[in-house]
């Protein structure tokens, strides 16, 4: 098995929304904001090569939205999904499976591309994996979260016939890949957990968007159920610190991976490094 970091660019979100109740005087030292209070965040995905399977975890924001949409989110940087795949010798047609941690636009927008007037899967040879509970949550969104669930990113996956649900279909993932679930950020978000080079490696999605979100009170205002997130973080961080897990961050603008240590202030970062250094 081989793991590769796939960078699809950067975007901007309001720093206050990303750090919730934490004051700007504190979080601004972690990820400094621009004059509009916006911070840059990565759109980092994971590629898993295992035998004849090439599994992509999330796929960024995509580029099919209009100018007004990107005016809100400021997609920037030189990285793209195609360039990052090509750097490792792959093309999107090589992807056999796409695991969607959840269906917010910055995690699944690259699933679908425009071909003329049609919306079609970007990965024509892949199975797209979600779960029934989260899929229902996304296609029948609540008023607070519906701006993050864009129909053009979601419904064409099902219409293509390439969608499967992890609970109801035999997914045949390698034995060293399992899927955890978390329910605070959005309902039934999936976190792939991988046994890799003798270590437990977890793709954090939006349970921990960045290293800066490791302290327990640092919970995004975007989270639907913040107290659930708080409890999920507490449980996970204890397990991860005791098990010496490697955490992989989807949105940290600088840091790909870290390990944890127990300090007088609680669980904090131990070492940070790139995936290629593991």
Residue 220 sits in a domain of what CATH number?
A: 3.60.15.10
How much is the pLDDT for 174? 84
36 pLDDT more than 90: yes
The pLDDT tens digits of the residues spanning 194-217 come to: 999 999 999 999 999 999 999 999
Point out the least confidently predicted range of 87-96, 139-148, 168-177, 221-230. 168-177
Return the higher-pLDDT residue of 25 and 173.
25
169 pLDDT more than 80: no
Mean pLDDT of 7-16: 97
Which residues form the domain of 194?
2-277
* Average pLDDT score over the chain: 96
Mean pLDDT of 226-245: 98
How much is the pLDDT for 147? 94
CA 79 to chain centre: 16
144 pLDDT more than 80: yes
Mean pLDDT of 128-157: 97
Count: domains in the chain: 1
The pLDDT tens digits of the residues spanning 40-61 come to: 999 999 999 999 999 999 999 9
DSSP letter string over the chain?
-EEEEEEEEEEEEEHHHHHTTS-HHHHTTTS---TTSEEEEEEEEEEEEETTEEEEE-----S-S-HHHHHHH--BSS--HHHHHHHTT--GGG--EEE-S--SHHHHGGGEEEETTEEEES-TT-EEEE-HHHHHHHHS--TTTGGG--HHHHHHHHHTT-EEETTTS-----TTEEEEEE-SSSTTEEEEEEEETTEEEEE-TTTS-SGGG-STT---TT-SSHHHHHHHHHHHHHHHHHTTPEEE-SS-SS--EEEEEEETTEEEEEEEE-GGG-
The pLDDT tens digits of the residues spanning 111-138 come to: 999 999 999 999 999 999 999 999 999 9
CB 103 within 8 A of CB 133: no
How much is the pLDDT for 184? 98
pLDDT band at 189 (very low <50, low <70, confident <90, very high): very high
171 pLDDT more than 80: no
pLDDT band at 175 (very low <50, low <70, confident <90, very high): confident
């Amino acid at each position: 098995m081989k793991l590769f970091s796939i960078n699809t660019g950067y975007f901007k979100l309001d720093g206050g929304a990303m750090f919730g109740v934490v004051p700007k005087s504190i979080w601004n030292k972690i990820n400094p904001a621009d004059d509009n209070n916006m911070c840059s965040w990565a759109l980092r995905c994971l590629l898993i090569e295992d035998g004849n399977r090439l599994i992509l975890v999330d796929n960024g924001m995509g580029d099919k939205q209009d100018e007004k949409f990107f005016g809100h989110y400021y997609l920037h940087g030189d990285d793209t999904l195609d360039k990052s795949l090509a750097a490792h010798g792959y093309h999107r047609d090589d992807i056999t499976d796409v695991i969607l941690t959840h269906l917010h636009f910055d995690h699944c927008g690259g699933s679908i591309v425009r071909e003329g007037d049609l919306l079609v899967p970007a990965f024509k040879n892949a199975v797209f994996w979600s779960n029934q509970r989260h899929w229902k949550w996304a296609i029948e969104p609540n008023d607070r979260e519906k701006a993050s669930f864009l129909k053009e990113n979601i419904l064409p996956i099902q219409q293509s016939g390439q969608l499967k649900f992890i609970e109801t279909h035999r997914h045949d993932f390698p034995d060293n890949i399992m899927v955890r679930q978390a329910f605070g950020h959005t309902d039934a978000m999936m976190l792939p957990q991988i046994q890799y080079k003798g270590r437990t490696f977890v793709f954090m999605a939006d349970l921990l968007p960045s290293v800066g979100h490791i302290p327990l009170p640092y919970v995004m205002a975007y989270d639907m159920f913040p107290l659930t997130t708080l409890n999920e973080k507490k449980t996970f961080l204890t397990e991860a610190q005791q098990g010496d897990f490697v955490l992989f961050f989807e949105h940290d603008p600088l840091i790909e991976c870290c390990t944890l240590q127990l300090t007088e202030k609680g669980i904090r970062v131990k070492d940070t490094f790139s995936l290629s250094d593991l």
